[in-house]
């Protein structure tokens, strides 16, 4: 009997229909065991890992990383790793949580793994996370600059001992060990995991990284607005958003008041920039530039400005420049103040950004920010 | 198809007639320059209608006329007369007449008039500065005051793109071209408010780039000008004082000058904003409500303009700033 082509076509169609039907039946039957306790078959595990590794290699971006041996990147990355990653992945001196160890797959100890990936692949992994593995994506997809700080830390991780890790992640912060009563009664016994001071400093200590802003003496209203914006996602940051979200409104208010009340006694940064650049930055800050429609920075960031605006004197140059670049890329946020600054930052050249940042970094901190805000002046 | 058009017909009449009178019309000239342009324009329209009538008659003759007339139309004589001689004579005469009528505009500038008004077209508003001949420079924006019966030189420039300055009731239009300075001399014959419009497409909010020329009797104008050299008045009450504090603390003064208070030179000068009839380059009536709404979200009224939205203000703060600005007159 001759096989007619039309039969072949029917058979192909039947097969194509049968595959999803069979798959649906399989899923419907409940035969497949989704239990994390059972693990994968050897072949399934190999297949998934093979697919994952190839996917990461294919998708890692072809970009030049920032200098990953920069201490400021490593320090900030360490601070975030401690509160965001160490719970699952462990860290020197911190055991992996038994709970996370019963995920499938169990989160690996990263010091053994990071060597297998290039910088760009690590960046992609941290930014996008992994499907089916419980590895979350970076909460603020706009903030590639934050992701790189973590990559910088991961490169350092394999060579860290316990003391080295604590020094990086906690910034030398020493808290008295909690008493038995405190441990028993407090809701959270995390040892400074959420402490702002780890990255931002407090009392007499200044921020641990130049990428982190100095909060001492900033107007409370500006600090409170920033925490609120992080908490509701209006300001983008994978590092600050989880922290701010975990704070109650009362806690945010208390923190804002605390930092606003600190009187910073820091020596202004010594100038690395050339005097001519500093002078240009100074002129732009005081006078603006009418030709390119840049208003004077001092109009909003001087001592008498609204308390919703931060004070910039004595702020780190890297931080100021990074924020201005974030506005230019539309990556800082969409708050009321972002709407103002993004319009202005868009008109700044890269040189102007660096000059303005360098000048502000060298200024002594004005004590005025801590004094009573002018906002309610004229009101009864 | 006809019903749709028929429905639109009632709309057409007011739209067409609206152009015939009012503050922004070439058909109601209020100055010698506009008068001359209307005279020349009227002659050209009448002449063109006469020529069109002749052409129509000739066409009719060519198709339906008696044989002798058709033969004459087809002859060399008709072509030479109607196709060469007539246009040469007519256009030459028109050119001569046009040059003669407009000679005042073409002639080299008379001794510089005492009052010069510098107008710079910007995206999308008008930066104004009065030069009173005594070395004073008085800044303004979007509303130009001139004395009646005196020729005023408008010095036209642009820092960004090509704009065109046109106040139809007073005279012709003249482009404002980056890198060039054009001078337009206008005179208003009667007091009044004459609206002008940017007449060269200059970007998104081009249609919202209008201005008003307020022609005032000479004595009134002189008094206004000498008053304008002073600093802006002090806020009159607590609310306005609070408005000024907010204006300065929020950084408004980094872009907007108020004489004696702030020196920003990026946006419009606000020294006498309370006295202006409109805001946002004659696109919104001047009222505290409009001022407050424009401050909070100017992009809504003029998409793409340079002023960021100031949503940081609470309603009472906006009211205070609006009260302060309204008091600046």
Tell me the mean pLDDT in the region A209-229: 94
B166 vs B202: CA distance, rounded Å:
14
Q: Is the confidence metric ipTM above 0.85 for this complex?
A: no
Rounded Cα distance between B192 and B21, Å, is: 13
A210-374: CATH, from 1.10.760.10, 1.10.3720.10, 3.30.540.10, 3.40.50.2300 = 1.10.760.10
Query: Environment class of residue A111 by beta-carbon count within 10 Å: exposed (0-12), middle (13-18) or buried (19+)?
Result: middle
Distance in angstroms (rounded) separating the CA atoms of residues A20 and A28? 12
**Percent residues over pLDDT 70 in chain B:** 91
Residues in chain B whose beta carbon is closer than 8 A to a beta carbon of chain A? Answer: 159, 238-239, 241-246, 248-255, 264-266, 306-312, 320
Residue B135 has pLDDT above 90, yes or no: no
Partner-chain contact A343 B308, CB within 8 Å: yes
Asked if A293 is an interface residue toward chain B (Cβ–Cβ < 8 A), one would say: yes
The span from the CA of B160 to the CA of B126, in Å, is 12
Q: Answer yes or no: do B264 and A296 touch at CB < 8 A.
A: yes
| CA gap B30, B149 in Å, rounded | 11
Residue A371 has pLDDT above 60, yes or no: no
What residues of A are in contact with residue B308 (Cβ under 8 Å)?
339-344
With a cut of 60, say whether residue B19 has pLDDT above it: no
CATH number of B116-228: 2.60.40.420
CA distances to A25, B271, B307 from B124, in Å = 66, 19, 11
B253–A309 C-beta distance less than 8 A: no
Over the stretch B164-223, which tens digit does the pLDDT of each residue have? 999 999 998 999 999 999 999 899 999 999 999 999 999 999 999 999 999 999 999 989
CATH class of B238-326: mainly beta
pLDDT at A171: 75
Residue ranges, comma separated, of all CATH 1.10.760.10 domains in chain A are 210-374
3-state secondary structure chain B: CHHHHHHHHHHHHHHHHHCCCCCCCCCCCCCHHHHHHHHHHHHHHHHHHHHHHHHHHHHHHHHHCCHHHHHHHHCHHHHHHHHHHHHHHHHHHHHHHHHHHCHHHHCCCCCCCCCEEEEEEECCEEEEEEECCCCCEEEEECEEEEECCCCEEEEEECCCCCEEEECCCCCCCEEECCCCCEEEEECCCCCEEEEEEECCCCCCCHHHCEEEEEEECHHHHHHHHHHHCCCCCCCCCHHHHHHHHHHHHCCHHHCCEECCCEECCCCCCCCCHHHCCEECCCCEECCHHHHHHHHHCHHHHCCCCCCCCCCCCCHHHHHHHHHHHHCCC
Residues above pLDDT 90, as percent of chain A:
72
CATH 1.10.10 holds for A51-170? no
* pLDDT score for A19: 94
Distance CA A229, CA A244 (A): 9
Do the Cβ atoms of A299 and B264 come within 8 Å? yes
How many CB pairs below 8 A link A and B?
72
**This model's pTM is above 0.90:** no
């Amino acid at each position: 009997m001759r096989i007619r082509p039309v039969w072949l076509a029917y058979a192909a169609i039947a097969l194509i229909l049968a595959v999803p039907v069979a798959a649906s039946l399989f899923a419907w039957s409940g035969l497949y065991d989704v239990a994390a306790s059972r693990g994968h078959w050897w072949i399934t595990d190999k297949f998934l890992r093979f697919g994952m590794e190839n996917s990461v290699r294919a998708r890692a971006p072809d970009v030049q990383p920032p200098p990953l041996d920069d201490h400021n990147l490593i320090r900030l990355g360490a601070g975030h790793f401690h509160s965001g990653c160490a719970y699952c992945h462990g860290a020197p001196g911190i055991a992996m949580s038994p709970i996370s160890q019963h995920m499938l797959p169990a989160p690996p100890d990263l010091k053994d793994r990071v060597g297998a990936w290039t910088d760009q692949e690590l960046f992609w992994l941290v930014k996008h996370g992994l499907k089916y593995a419980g590895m979350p994506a970076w909460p603020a997809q706009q903030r590639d600059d934050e992701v790189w700080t973590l990559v910088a830390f991961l490169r350092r991780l394999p060579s860290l001992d316990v003391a080295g890790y604590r020094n990086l992640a906690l910034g030398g912060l020493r808290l008295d060990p909690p008493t038995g009563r405190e441990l028993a009664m407090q809701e959270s016994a995390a040892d400074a995991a959420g402490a702002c001071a780890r990255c931002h400093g407090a009392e007499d200590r200044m921020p641990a990284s130049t990428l982190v802003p100095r909060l001492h003496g900033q107007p409370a209203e500006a600090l409170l607005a920033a925490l609120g914006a992080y908490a509701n996602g209006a300001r983008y940051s994978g590092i600050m958003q989880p922290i701010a979200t975990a704070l109650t409104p009362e806690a945010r208010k208390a923190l804002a008041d605390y930092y606003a009340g600190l009187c910073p006694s820091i020596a202004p940064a010594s100038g690395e920039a050339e005097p001519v650049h500093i002078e240009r930055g100074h002129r732009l800050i005081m006078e603006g530039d009418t030709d390119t429609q840049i208003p004077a920075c001092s109009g909003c960031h001087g001592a008498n400005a609204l308390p919703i605006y931060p004070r910039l004197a004595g702020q780190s140059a890297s931080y100021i420049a990074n924020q201005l670049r974030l506005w230019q890329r539309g990556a800082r946020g969409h708050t009321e103040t972002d709407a103002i600054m993004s319009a202005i930052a868009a008109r700044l050249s890269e040189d102007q950004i660096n000059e303005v940042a360098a000048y502000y970094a060298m200024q002594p901190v004005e004590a005025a920010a801590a004094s009573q805000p002018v906002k309610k002046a004229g009101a009864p | 198809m006809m019903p749709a058009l028929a429905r639109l017909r009632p709309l057409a009449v007011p739209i067409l007639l609206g152009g015939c009178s009012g503050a922004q019309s070439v058909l109601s000239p209020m100055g010698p320059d506009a008068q001359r342009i209307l005279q020349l324009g009227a002659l050209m329209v009448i002449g063109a209608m006469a020529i069109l009538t002749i052409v129509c008659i000739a066409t009719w003759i060519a198709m339906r006329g008696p044989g002798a007339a058709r033969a004459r139309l087809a002859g060399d004589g008709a072509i030479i007369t109607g196709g060469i001689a007539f246009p040469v004579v007519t256009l030459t005469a028109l050119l001569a007449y046009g040059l003669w009528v407009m000679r005042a505009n073409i002639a080299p500038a008379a001794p510089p008039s005492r009052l010069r008004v510098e107008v710079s077209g910007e995206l999308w508003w008008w930066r104004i500065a009065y030069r009173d001949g005594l070395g004073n420079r008085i800044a303004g924006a979007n509303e130009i005051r001139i004395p009646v019966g005196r020729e005023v030189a408008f010095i036209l420039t642009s820092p960004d793109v090509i704009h065109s300055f046109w106040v139809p009731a007073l005279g012709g239009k003249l482009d404002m071209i980056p890198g060039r300075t054009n001078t337009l001399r206008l005179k208003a014959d009667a007091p009044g408010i004459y609206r002008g419009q940017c007449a060269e497409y200059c970007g998104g909010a081009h249609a919202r780039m209008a201005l008003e020329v307020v022609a005032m009797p000479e004595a009134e104008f002189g008094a206004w000008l000498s008053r304008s050299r002073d600093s802006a008045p002090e806020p009159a009450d607590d609310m306005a004082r609070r408005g000024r504090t907010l204006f300065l603390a929020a950084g408004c003064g980094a872009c907007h000058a108020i004489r004696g208070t702030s020196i920003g030179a990026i946006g419009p000068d606000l020294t006498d904003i309370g006295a202006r009839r409109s805001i946002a380059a004659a696109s919104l009536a001047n009222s505290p409500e409009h001022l407050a709404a424009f401050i909070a979200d100017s992009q809504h009224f003029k998409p793409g303009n340079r002023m960021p939205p100031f949503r940081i203000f609470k309603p009472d703060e906006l009211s205070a700033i609006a009260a302060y600005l309204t008091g600046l007159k």
